[in-house]
């Protein structure tokens, strides 16, 4: 059993509680125009040639995006940080891309983590059939649930897929009593309208319990990656959002009794 991973970040503090190891899987079914990990789009390992300037000399650096891990190799990498997990109440977060695209490996690594009593979080678009969720639901302690746009037409336009399956899965996870943190990437001009925020609030109010609500302000580092990796983008060159730009959204959700945080 193998998986393709494009990054492992240690000592992460924005991907769930405590100090965490975040594992980023290759492959994603969405094509968000504001994506901050466009190198995750394709499922396979990709060769890449980068140009680096050393004074007046330009040097080509050939490398690859993605690395193959066996289950034993990856659990070894995760277990190396067990001390930090234990001391901080942290654990491992599986992100991407979309980890559910590599469901066989994801199920296996989640089971291995639970056998070792390692706290698990899944950062997901939830754009996956229900049977995939059912395979891993009992091994995930926390779902970091991406919620991007409530209007299906706009969701299709900006991410390439419908939001119906995503919303259905959110209701399903909530009905199952799973701990959920909504992660809302706030993108100026795309999903930051008052009408979209109100639709989101109305939808979340109908869930069996209120999830935490985390606002992720747009950051332009993703657009720099598009250029670096030679991936075409339609995202305009706009500045990053500041935390003060999100205050009005924070106030809307706090007024309804939600725990709100800015950042991961």
Tell me: the pLDDT tens digits for 64-76? 899 999 999 999 9
Residue 263: per-residue pLDDT: 87
* Angle of the 247-254 helix axis to the 194-205 helix axis, nearest 10: 30
- Is 100 in contact with 124 (CB distance < 8 Å)? yes
| Residue 60 reports pLDDT greater than 90 | no
Burial track 35-61 (b if 16+ CB lie within 10 A, e otherwise) = bbbbbbbbbeebeeeeeeeeeeeeeee
Q: Per-residue confidence at 89, pLDDT binned at 50, 70, 90?
A: very high
Residue 179 reports pLDDT greater than 90: yes
Cβ neighbours for 71, distance < 8 A, ≥ 6 positions apart: 1, 2, 3, 105, 108, 109, 112
The pTM for the full model equals 0.92
The answer to whether the peptide bond before residue 199 is cis (omega within 30 degrees of 0) is no
Per-residue pLDDT tens for 180-220?
999 999 999 999 999 999 999 999 999 999 999 999 999 88
Average pLDDT of the segment spanning 137-165 = 98
Q: Indicate the pLDDT class of residue 156, thresholds 50, 70 and 90.
A: very high
* CA 64 to each of CA 6, 22, 48, 77: distance values in angstroms, whole numbers, following the listed order: 9, 20, 5, 20
Quick check: 219 and 36 in contact, CB under 8 A? yes
List, for residues 212-245, the tens digit of each pLDDT value: 999 999 988 777 777 777 788 888 888 889 999 9
Transcribe 219-253 into DSSP letters: -THHHHHHHHTT--------PPPPGGGGHHHHHHH
pLDDT of 147 > 70? The answer is: yes
Confidence of residue 100 (pLDDT cuts 50, 70, 90): very high
Averaged over 114-142, what is the pLDDT?
Answer: 98
């Amino acid at each position: 059993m193998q998986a393709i991973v494009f990054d492992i970040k240690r000592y992460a503090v924005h991907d769930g509680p405590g100090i965490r190891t975040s594992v980023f899987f290759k492959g994603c079914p969405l094509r968000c125009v504001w994506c901050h990990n466009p190198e995750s789009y394709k499922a396979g390992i990709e060769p890449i040639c980068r140009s680096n300037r050393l004074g007046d000399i330009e040097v080509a650096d050939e490398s690859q995006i993605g690395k193959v891990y066996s289950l034993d190799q990856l659990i070894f990498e995760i277990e190396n940080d067990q001390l930090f997990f234990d001391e901080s109440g942290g654990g491992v977060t599986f992100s991407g891309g979309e980890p559910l695209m590599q469901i066989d490996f994801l199920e296996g690594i989640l089971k291995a983590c639970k056998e070792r009593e390692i706290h698990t979080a899944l950062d997901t678009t939830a754009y996956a059939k229900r049977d995939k969720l059912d395979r891993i639901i009992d091994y995930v302690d926390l779902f970091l649930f991406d919620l991007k746009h409530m209007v299906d037409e706009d969701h299709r336009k900006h991410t390439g897929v419908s939001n119906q399956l995503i919303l259905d899965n959110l209701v399903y996870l909530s009905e199952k009593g799973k701990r959920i943190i909504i992660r809302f990437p706030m993108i100026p001009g795309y999903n930051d309208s008052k009408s979209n925020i109100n639709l989101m609030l109305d939808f979340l109010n109908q869930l069996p319990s209120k999830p935490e609500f985390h606002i992720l302000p747009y950051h332009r580092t993703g657009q720099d990656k598009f250029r670096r990796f030679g991936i075409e983008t339609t995202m305009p060159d706009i500045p990053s959002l500041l935390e003060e730009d999100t205050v009005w959204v924070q106030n809307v959700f706090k007024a309804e009794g939600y725990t709100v945080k800015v950042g991961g």
